Amino acid sequence: MIALMLQDALVERIRDLLAGQTLPSKGGLRTEVKVFPQFLPLPGVPEPGETEGTLVFSESLAYGEGDLERNFPCVIVKLDDGTDREEGDPKGTRIGVRILVGVYDETPDCQGFRDALNIVEQIRQCLLSERYLGGKYRLEMPLEWHLFDEQPWPCFFAVVESTWGTGRPLDGGTGRKGDVRNGTCPDIAAALGRE
């Protein structure tokens, strides 16, 4: 749950950062940058604010080129991995997060990477200027970013790679009610909707 709460906090911070910002999208329109946790939504899933409907998975929902491009420009906050160290180790718990940036630019000069890098720079400055997130997570250094070597025109991609430090429960060895290890810790129960 700690990793999911970090992901949710990053999604919220990046949505706030990019709110109202528009970039080119398919058909020459300008569209607000969308921010998603972990994956792009399946085709046929309503956009936020659209009428909700029942989604039934079928082969017809497999991604096609148009389905993928409809989500651009976008940022995807992906949880990568986590590591817990021994008690007393100053490195404690570490969570790896990749922030993928995807933009769409149909112009033949292949300069869409500039829009991707502009978003990366905004995210970078935001995270570096306030390295604590939600009072629970601290951005560890180094913060890295890069462009992909292959850019599948008209889509362009960049990524920010980050590691976040956080506290973790101490092993009291009791297994009593309210213990993280048996899933009854009040914070975890609340996150799981078990209250």
pLDDT in tens, 120-135: 999 999 999 999 998 8
Q: Region 102-106: what's the mean pLDDT?
A: 92
Q: Round the average pLDDT of the chain to a whole number and report it.
A: 80
Tokens coding 47: 């956009």
DSSP sequence for the chain: -HHHHHHHHHHHHHHHHHTT-EEE-GGG-EEEPEEEESSPPPTTPPPTTSPP------GGGS--HHHHHTT-SEEEEEEEEEEE--TT-TT-EEEEEEEEEEEE---TT--THHHHHHHHHHHHHHHHH--EETTTEEEEEEEEEEE-S---TTEEEEEEEEEEEE------S---TT-GGGT--HHHHHHHT--
Looking at the chain, the whole-number percentage of residues with pLDDT higher than 70 is 69
| pLDDT value of residue 178 | 47
Whether the per-residue pLDDT at 65 is higher than 70: the answer is no
Q: Which of 9-13, 87-91, 176-180 has the lowest mean pLDDT?
A: 176-180
| pLDDT value of residue 20 | 95
Name, in order, each residue with C-beta under 8 angstroms of 189's C-beta and a sequence gap of 6 or more.
Answer: 183, 195
Whether the per-residue pLDDT at 88 is higher than 90: the answer is no
Tens-digit pLDDT profile for residues 152-166: 888 899 999 999 998
Q: What is the per-residue burial (b if ≥16 Cβ within 10 Å, else e) of 86-103?
A: eeeeeebbbbbbebbbbb
Whether the per-residue pLDDT at 168 is higher than 80: the answer is no
Q: Region 67-76: what's the mean pLDDT?
A: 82
Whether the per-residue pLDDT at 57 is higher than 90: the answer is no
Q: Which residue has the higher pLDDT, 148 or 193?
A: 148
| Angle subtended at Cα 61 by Cα 59 and Cα 66, rounded to the nearest 5 degrees | 125
Q: Region 50-57: what's the mean pLDDT?
A: 46
Whether the per-residue pLDDT at 183 is higher than 80: the answer is no
Q: Region 103-129: what's the mean pLDDT?
A: 94
Q: Which of 17-26, 117-126, 165-174 has the lowest mean pLDDT?
A: 165-174
Can you list the domains of the chain with their CATH numbers? 2-43+57-192 (3.30.2000.10)
